[in-house]
A and B are shown apart, each in its own frame.
Chain A
Amino acid sequence: MSEPFLIGDCMTGGYGNGPDILHGCTIAVDKGEIAVIVGPNGAGKSTAMKAVFGMLNVRDGSVRLDGEDITSLSPQNRVVKGMGFVPQTNNIFASMTVEENLEMGAFIRNDDIRQTMEQVYDLFPILRDKRNQPAGELSGGQRQQVAVGRALMTQPKVLMLDEPTAGVSPIVMDELFDRIIEVARTGIPILMVEQNARQALEIADKGYVLVQGANAHTGSGKDLLADPEVRRSFLGG
């Protein structure tokens, strides 16, 4: 089997010199896929994603993007390599307009960004209407769209979302999931951490259930939803 496009392989590590939070955890996403990381609170879901993005001290294991070892790269350099990351909180420039947010997302690019901006507006039509409004004045769901749009402006080869639906209403959550599927359809692999395990697994090609910083179950979204043990322990029966 060929290696996945992005893989955090057997990662062990923690923040700074603190204790290890991840213990031999493996996360991967392949082209055209949506991979979802779920698990109970404190399982290290976000930590695993941050490890893949280089915000963590990975003491053992490696992170590889398109076959290249990027374990020692800083998050900024990973962005240059083609990774887009949407943090869970503080993921927009609240005092700047929607359009300026997108412009800042494309800061590392020196070519014409207008076409990419049009693509983002096509993907999130509401942002086109609000392009000149400060992003901080938008609703929670719209802010998340700005955040995802900002990350898309670098034309990333893989997009990582840290709990994109945290703190939004169920209706907005469904809409956000639809949008995320649309982003995936444009060919960008998506790795995402989710609290709402059931909905997330429904749209996932691949799911990772983490428990205490280690892989507990891995499989396709459907398989995990059907797995009685996963259902009993994480999905409430």
Chain B
Amino acid sequence: MEFLNGFVALSNFVLVPAIAYGSQLALGALGVTLIYGILRFSNFAHGDTMAFGAMVTVLVTWAMQSIGISFGPLPTALLALPFGIAGAVLMVLMTDKMVYKFYREKKSKPVILVIVSMGVMFMMNGIVRVIIGPNEQQFRDGERFLIKAREFKNMTGLDEGLAIKSTQAITVVTAAIAVALLFWFLNKTRTGKSMRAYSDNEDLALLSGINPERVVAVTWIIVAALATIAGVLYGLDKSFKPFTYFQLLLPIFASAIVGGLGNPLGAIAGGFVVAFSEVMITYAWKKVLGYWLPDTLEPSGLVQLLSTDYKFAVSFMILIVVLLFRPTGLFKGKAY
């Protein structure tokens, strides 16, 4: 009983939130890793692409709510998501045409493209704030919980409750569908395979008649979709605020690098590694340990390794450790 109570408390405060957060990071890291693998630079504008896509979704959600469209127990934002994706796709394709294409044709070095992407980041950052403002926005509706803590207690008779927010469940399900679709696309379709071929060996891909501009455009479309989905899920789960997406850039890059840049599978693993580390290191373990340890060993302090204010330090630490000891990441990535 003691053990079960401890485990439920652990699930409630660590496992469930970390899985949801990990799914969001994984989706974000997939976008970063695809750009790195195929366009061959680290896209610093990715966080703000997420913000832009999420912003369009928020605006469409509000419009839908105002004319009375709802999705029953599910958030209306899921209905608005395709519009958000379309908006983000338009945005990145325009950016590519107006900005990145110029540098690609000049065959600029990756480091120059990184700086260029920072410029794009500031621009998108500004656009989002001009349109929706820098403040926190609410757009969540529908059922709040999938399982409420009280219901869980009544159901199981345990002292500890387990609450699963519907946004957490939606996050995991949506992320799983998106990832399954992405892997099916990359491994089974001709276009997907041509993207992998281009990422693997650009010269040989050109020799094989693969059209690089098409590969680049498809990549941007996929990345915009992934970024929007990640941004909306994060916004639903927490709240929408433009600045948080900029801050998300660090854990997302940490995830992509931990998994091995350019490796989609690694990005997913990396997302969960970073999410779990962040949640576990900033969680106060007193309650769980109280259940699990004998009474004599029960901790008197909170057993919290780091205050949640310092959660970004966790990403930094992971990043440094990985770069020091396994620079290609857990799964073999590549470096240009």
Contact = CB atoms under 8 A, between A and B. Distances in A.
B157 interface: no
Interface stretch (B17-25, B134-142, B167-175, B190-198): B190-198
Interface stretch (B206-214, B270-278, B285-293, B308-316): B206-214
B204 A92 contact: yes
Interface stretch (A103-111, A170-178, A187-195): A103-111
Interface string A95-115: 110001001110110000000
A87 interface: yes
Contact of A93 (B196, B206, B209): B196
A150 B193 CA distance: 15
A208 interface: no
A100 B200 CA distance: 12
Interface in A67-88: 75-76, 79-80, 85, 87
Interface residues of B, number: 15
A21 B205 CA distance: 27
Given A100-B193, A104-B194, A90 B201 contact: yes
Contacts of A154: 209
B262 to A, nearest CB: 10
B191 to A, nearest CB: 10
25 contacts: A75-B206, A76-B209, A79-B209, A87-B203, A90-B201, A92-B204, A93-B196, A93-B197, A93-B200, A93-B201, A93-B204, A93-B205, A94-B200, A95-B200, A96-B200, A100-B196, A103-B193, A104-B197, A104-B205, A104-B210, A107-B194, A107-B209, A108-B208, A150-B204, A150-B208
Interface of B: 190, 193-194, 196-197, 200-201, 203-210
A91 interface: yes
A26 B177 CA distance: 58
A87 B201 CA distance: 12
B204 A87 contact: yes
- Pairs A-B, 6 closest by C-beta atoms: A108-B209, A93-B200, A104-B197, A107-B208, A95-B200, A107-B209
B174 to A, nearest CB: 28
Contacts of B196: 93, 95-96, 100
Interface in A96-143: 96, 100, 103-105, 107-108
A50 B79 CA distance: 54
